[in-house]
Amino acid sequence: MPLTPSWVESANDADCPFPLNNLPYGVFTTNSLEPRCGVAIGDRILDLQAAEEAGVIAIAEDPVFDVPYWNDVMDLGPEAWGALRARLQELLAEGSAEQATVAPMLILMAEARMELPIVVTEFTDFYAGKHHAMNVGSMFRDPENALPPNWLHIPIGYNGRASTVVVSGTDIHRPNGQTKAPDADAPGFGPCKRLDFELEMGAIVGGTSEMGQPITVQQADDMIFGYVLLNDWSARDIQAWEYQPLGPFQAKAFATSISPWIVTKAALEPFRTSTPERERDLLPYLQEPGPMLYDIALSVTLAPEGRDPTTIAETNYDQMYYSAAQQLAHHASSGCAMNSGDLIGSGTVSGPQKTERGSLLELSWGGKDPITLSTGEVRSFLEDGDTLTLSGHCQGDGFTIGFGSCTGTVLPAKTFP
């Protein structure tokens, strides 16, 4: 599939993350506009509230863009999603008869501030990157037996915290928590000393599954509205002390950042790729009817306060062992009801090479092998003032499907009131 040209000229550059082929969905505000839904095209955002009010877009009987979140659209399901995308392509395509009507509804992206695109109903995080699980297992379990016994059979996940999912650009306070050094007699409480990021993709669920009712992998894939970049900020020292036997809790509860633009499944369609060969056959309820991963190039930069960023990792979402559709099918398998606005973290994306590791835990091998930044500074974990940025894109033939970035700066821990 080649670039589809738009009358918004900036959208036609081969490097532009937001060509007509992409059309990602977000929520934005400006100095004069209240928060509202928009779609990115080139260096502009089409104001969908204005477009709906003007009657240029009508995908449901009642308005869906009178609220500053995408959940209402997500509730409408795949047919409406397809109709919206088709209409947007029509409006924004080169030669559109409606250019004069639509042009005044475009906002300069540089003048907009992005907000969370959805009301996050619940957040679930998985552990589906095999290289990541092997690396972590080698550090904390046994290099000869790094994967947990269930890992090749279950997309292992845990429920995270929705209340602290924030949009890219939100500063992150270093968490406080209980930690205990291996040789200490008792734990202490204070700011985390091993603050980390995790490079993930987030899948956004549209539609509902009924309580008690399992769904197939195909149904699960049909229920995915789109994808974002996701940083699962992690406090490794808090995690080490708390996670047995009930899993990560406060170590992950303080913040999760997502990129502001939801890249739809339709935009990603040309980049579908298969999960890898299975070492053990999956149970039938987890078998995919077709490719459900995506070829998405991912990178991570770290910039100390006031310094230039260094690229510290580059990898690809195609490294995952389980797709989001498999994860969602597993999530619903017990009869767990899924809803529009549920956010599914992929788990840390790491590739086989050292430079492809999606966390500082792996990059610095638990702090034993600190990384050196281009500025000369050294990092095992994140320092206050550090800015961590995830980026991602799919490379088409003459065009790019960009996710934009997911960034956050670490602030010092807060104290008790």
* Residues in region 107-126 near a second copy by CB under 8 A: 121-122
Tell whether residue 12 is a contact of a second copy (CB under 8 A).
Answer: no
The one-character DSSP state at 350 is -
164 annotated as a binding-site residue: no
Range 224-243, binding a second copy (CB under 8 A): 235, 238, 241-243
Site map (CB under 8 A) of a second copy, residues 23-52, x = contact: ------------------------------
Distances (CA, A) of 242 to 50, 59, 98, 215, 238: 49, 47, 58, 33, 6
- Burial class from Cβ neighbours inside 10 Å (0-12, 13-18, 19+) for residue 307 reads middle
Tell me the closest approach of the beta carbon of residue 305 to a second copy, in angstroms.
Answer: 18
Range 377-416, binding a second copy (CB under 8 A): 411, 413-416
386 annotated as a binding-site residue: no
**Which residue in the set 104, 289, 335, 352 belongs to the binding site for a second copy (CB under 8 A)?**
335
Tell me the closest approach of the beta carbon of residue 271 to a second copy, in angstroms.
Answer: 29
211-245 burial by CB neighbour count: b if 16+ within 10 A, else e? Answer: eeebbbbebbbbbbbbbbbbbbbbbbbbbbbbeee
Distance CA 136, CA 299 (A): 20
Between 10 and 339, whose beta carbon lies closer to a second copy? 339
111 annotated as a binding-site residue: no
198 annotated as a binding-site residue: yes
**Which residue in the set 206, 248, 304, 366 belongs to the binding site for a second copy (CB under 8 A)?**
248
The one-character DSSP state at 207 is S
Tell me the closest approach of the beta carbon of residue 114 to a second copy, in angstroms.
Answer: 18
Calculate the CA dihedral of residues 377, 131, 246, 174 and round it to 10 degrees: 20
Tell whether residue 372 is a contact of a second copy (CB under 8 A).
Answer: no
Distance CA 154, CA 120 (A): 25
Tell me the closest approach of the beta carbon of residue 408 to a second copy, in angstroms.
Answer: 12
Tell me the closest approach of the beta carbon of residue 160 to a second copy, in angstroms.
Answer: 6
Total residues at interface with a second copy (CB under 8 A): 72
239 annotated as a binding-site residue: yes
Distance CA 334, CA 343 (A): 18
Tell whether residue 18 is a contact of a second copy (CB under 8 A).
Answer: no
The per-residue DSSP string of 217-262 comes to HHHHHHTEEEEEEEE--EEHHHHHHH-TTT--SHHHHS-EEE-S-B
Tell whether residue 182 is a contact of a second copy (CB under 8 A).
Answer: no
127 annotated as a binding-site residue: yes
The one-character DSSP state at 51 is H
**131: annotated active-site residue:** no
Distance CA 268, CA 5 (A): 17
From 14-22, 186-194, 375-383, 395-403, span contacting a second copy (CB under 8 A): 186-194
Tell whether residue 154 is a contact of a second copy (CB under 8 A).
Answer: yes
Provide the annotated active-site residues: 132
